[in-house]
């Protein structure tokens, strides 16, 4: 047992866990940051998983056909934007119940990506994914260089997105408008802010980021598309927004905790630590819930979350 503990806590294993955790958190970051924008403007989008699947398929298919990864990424952006646009029409203009609409879009994405996979690909195929791009100098830092600075471009971009999202939400007029629309749309409206336009923007942005989250899997980390490959990841991303108390940095913390513990349980099993595998795979979920309970803050959701806005006549 002592030998095992030493093995688990050895430097190379810890560095390995860190590297894995950073990679695993990538899709959550895109999807959850996108969802944060939506929720801060008062729109709950539960269709993230469906948008991710469509993005993952679009990116994979276009890359497979053209051999061009950037075109694939662009396809994911376009498809994500279209899914977001449809969600915006349904929830903003038609005042549909947000939760149910989101589920509808999830089911659409799940079924449609599967259908397209069967009709257009026929079988599981592979493409060369985005290559790792070591950052000069930084990647040569002993020990930590390879952990942080040898990833593909979509991984770096996901982490750069966090401060950017924080900046936009907290330091720009656009962010102020988003927040006021999410807290008090009537007041925002009386100040001349178009509630509908702001929500269109955040929902479409959410769709785009979810699409990229899917691409970060299919052509970023994997180079493969498989039916239902997101496997509930999109729903965890929505939960991470609550976990992160609607703040980009909180979302980052949540995504990292969840992913690092997931990476840890992979190592725990590989090193042959004698605990049941069922227990090991539960670890990230258990720990996330524990952290959530322990850190219950005064955070509260945006006041207008899930409430459609109708301008008084």
Partner 1 sequence: MFRNPLFRLLLVFGLALGLLAACKGQQPATPAAEEAKKPFRVAVVMPSAINDLAFSQSMYDALVAIQKERGEENFQFVYSDGMYVVDDAAAAIRDYATQGYDLVIAHGSQYGSSLQEIAPDFPNTSFAWGTTVETFGLPNVFAYEAASEQGGYVNGVMAAMLTKSGVIGVVGPIETGDAKRYVDGFVAGVKATKPDATVNVNWIGSFSDVSLAAEAAKTHIAAGADVMTGTAQMVVGAIGVAKEHGVLWFGTQADQTSLAPEIVVANQVYHWEVVLNQMIDLIQQGTLGGRSFAIDLANGGIVMVYNPQFDLPDDVKAAAEKTIEGIKKGEITIPLK
Residues that bind partner 1 (CB under 8 A): 12, 16, 19-20, 23-24, 27, 44, 46, 99-100, 102-104, 106-107, 110-111, 114, 117-118, 121-126, 129, 217, 221-224, 226-229, 231-233, 235, 238-239, 242, 262-263, 266-267, 269-272, 276-278, 280-282, 296, 299-301, 305-306
Considering the complex, state which of residue 139 and residue 306 has its C-beta at the smaller distance from partner 1: 306
**Strand, coil or helix: 224:** strand
Least gap, CB of 108 to partner 1 (angstroms): 8
Task: State which residue, 138 or 289, has the beta carbon closest to partner 1.
Answer: 289
CB of 244 to partner 1, least distance (A): 13
Among 82, 24, 86, which residue's Cα sits nearest to residue 237?
Answer: 24
Alpha helix (H) residue ranges in 172-232: 173-183, 185-190, 195-215
Q: Say how far apart CA 259 and CA 17 lie, in whole Å.
A: 9
Sign of CA dihedral 232, 123, 77, 104: negative
Decide whether 44 or 193 has the Cβ nearer to partner 1.
44
Task: Tell me how far, at minimum, the Cβ of 45 lies from partner 1, in Å.
Answer: 11
Distance from C-alpha of 264 to C-alpha of 267, rounded to nearest angstrom: 5
Which CB, 107 or 143, lies closer to partner 1?
A: 107
Q: Is residue 50 a contact partner of residue 244, using CB atoms and an 8 Å limit? A: no
Residue 171 CB, nearest approach to partner 1 (Å): 26
> CB of residue 116 vs partner 1: minimum separation in angstroms?
12
Shorter beta-carbon distance to partner 1: residue 193 or 230: 230
- Under 8 Å between Cβ of 18 and 151: no
**What Rg do the C-alpha atoms of the chain give, in angstroms?**
20
């Amino acid at each position: 047992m002592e030998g095992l503990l030493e093995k688990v806590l050895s430097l190379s294993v810890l560095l390995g866990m860190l590297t894995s955790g950073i990679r695993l958190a990538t899709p959550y970051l895109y999807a959850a940051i996108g969802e944060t924008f939506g929720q801060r403007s008062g729109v709950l989008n539960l269709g993230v998983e469906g948008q991710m699947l469509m993005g993952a398929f679009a990116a994979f298919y276009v890359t497979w056909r053209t051999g061009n990864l950037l075109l694939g990424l662009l396809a994911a952006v376009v498809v994500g934007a279209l899914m977001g646009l449809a969600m915006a029409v349904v929830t903003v203009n038609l005042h549909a119940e947000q939760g149910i609409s989101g589920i509808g879009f999830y089911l659409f994405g799940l079924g449609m990506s599967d259908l397209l996979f069967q009709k257009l690909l026929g079988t599981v195929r592979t493409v060369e994914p985005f290559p790792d791009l070591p950052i000069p100098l930084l990647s040569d830092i002993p020990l930590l260089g390879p952990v942080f600075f040898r990833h593909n471009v979509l991984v770096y971009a996901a982490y750069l997105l966090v401060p950017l999202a924080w900046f936009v939400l907290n330091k720009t007029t656009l962010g102020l408008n988003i927040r006021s629309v999410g807290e008090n749309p009537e007041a925002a409206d009386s100040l001349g802010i178009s509630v509908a336009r702001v929500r269109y923007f955040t929902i479409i942005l959410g769709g785009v980021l979810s699409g990229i989250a899917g691409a970060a899997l299919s052509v970023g980390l994997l180079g493969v598309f498989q039916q239902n490959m997101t496997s509930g990841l999109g729903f965890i991303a929505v939960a991470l927004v609550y976990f992160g108390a609607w703040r980009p940095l909180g979302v980052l913390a949540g995504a990292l905790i969840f992913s690092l513990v997931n990476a840890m349980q992979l190592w725990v099993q590989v090193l042959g630590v004698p605990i049941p595998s069922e227990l090991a795979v539960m670890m990230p979920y258990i720990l996330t819930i524990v952290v959530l309970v322990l850190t219950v803050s005064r955070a509260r959701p945006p006041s207008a979350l899930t409430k459609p806005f109708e301008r008084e006549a």
